[in-house]
Amino acid sequence: MKPWSKAVATALVILAVGSFPKVRVLADENSKTKLNEVVAQIQTLEEVKTENERLVETRINEIETIGQAVSVFQDRVRFLAEEKAAVDERMVLLDELKPSNLLQAAVLTIARAYTVLEEAERTALIHGELDVYGTYENQYLHQDTYREIEEALLLKRAEIEENILQVEALMNTEMGKKEQYTNEVTEAQRVSEETNVTLTALSVEKITLEDQIEKEEAVRKSTTFIWPTSGRFTSPFGYRIHPISRTRRMHTGIDIANSSGTNIAASQNGKVIFTGYQGSYGKLIVIRHANGMETAYAHLSRISVSVGDTVTQGQSIGKMGSTGGSTGSHLHFEIRKNGTAVNPMSYLK
């Protein structure tokens, strides 16, 4: 391949790949999407449950307050009923102070025998104790006095009846609220019970999905290769003009450039079989994986693992550098199959 063709091909690879994202382990996207949906449902139902519990607590307190108010209203109605009964009894007693017929009224008028009441006495007959009527036994009231007291008693009874109606209206309003709040509590408790059943089912589903994702991630970490670092893709796998010797030579890996100290991660689960300085590779880590696969990480500035260590996909194993045959800070990354270097781009996810 002509040098300019090689450069164009490299540029196209760089354009296609761009800057690599942070190293991450991906589980099956469908499982993760489903898990996110389940978690969102659980969160929504937890909010509904909390809101229902808050509503139930509020309504129960309001029902208790209403119960106290209704009790006061009932006491008031009983008191007013007793007052009304007392007024009715006064009117019966008042009738006993009225001449039984016209003849008796005429005699009392001629004899000027009607009992004359002071203002305080009239008030006592209207508002006082019932036994006050006993002090007027065998006495009679003039028609005008009788009517004045009778009208006052009728007015008092009407006021009591109106007061009873008002109190009963208030009590009925409160009882209506109590019925409404009781229904709301019953409905909220029903919804909470259904929510708890659904939450239990969703929690089981969540645990199942988490276990499934964990297994999928374990499989992925053991069977797939991820990008070992982030940075700029600077050189592909294959023949190229060596940057130092300026001769056409096979490039057995890919190069990813970034600043010195950038994190380097294990591309797949495996066991470290080599760490140390090795010629043009500089500081080098080699990890053995399943199925005769190996990965190599060269030109490191620091090595963070030792031979014999078991590493997991995404685990930090070292830092990027420019040791060995290097013209700048970068990672030379290789994938080897049965000891032979293969194109990493065919394996990386």
CA distances to 1, 64, 105, 151 from 348, rounded to whole Å, are 25, 67, 124, 105
d(CA 279, CA 317): 20
| Helices 119-127 + 29-95 axis angle, to 10 | 130
pLDDT tens for the chain, residues 1 to 349:
433 344 434 333 333 333 333 333 445 688 889 999 999 999 999 999 999 999 999 999 999 999 999 999 999 999 999 999 999 999 999 999 999 898 988 988 888 889 999 999 999 999 999 999 999 988 999 999 999 999 999 999 999 999 999 999 999 999 999 999 999 999 999 999 999 999 999 999 999 999 998 888 888 788 889 999 999 999 999 999 888 888 899 999 999 999 999 999 999 999 999 999 999 999 999 999 999 999 999 999 999 999 999 999 999 999 999 999 999 999 999 999 999 999 999 999 7
CA Rg, the chain, in Å? 50
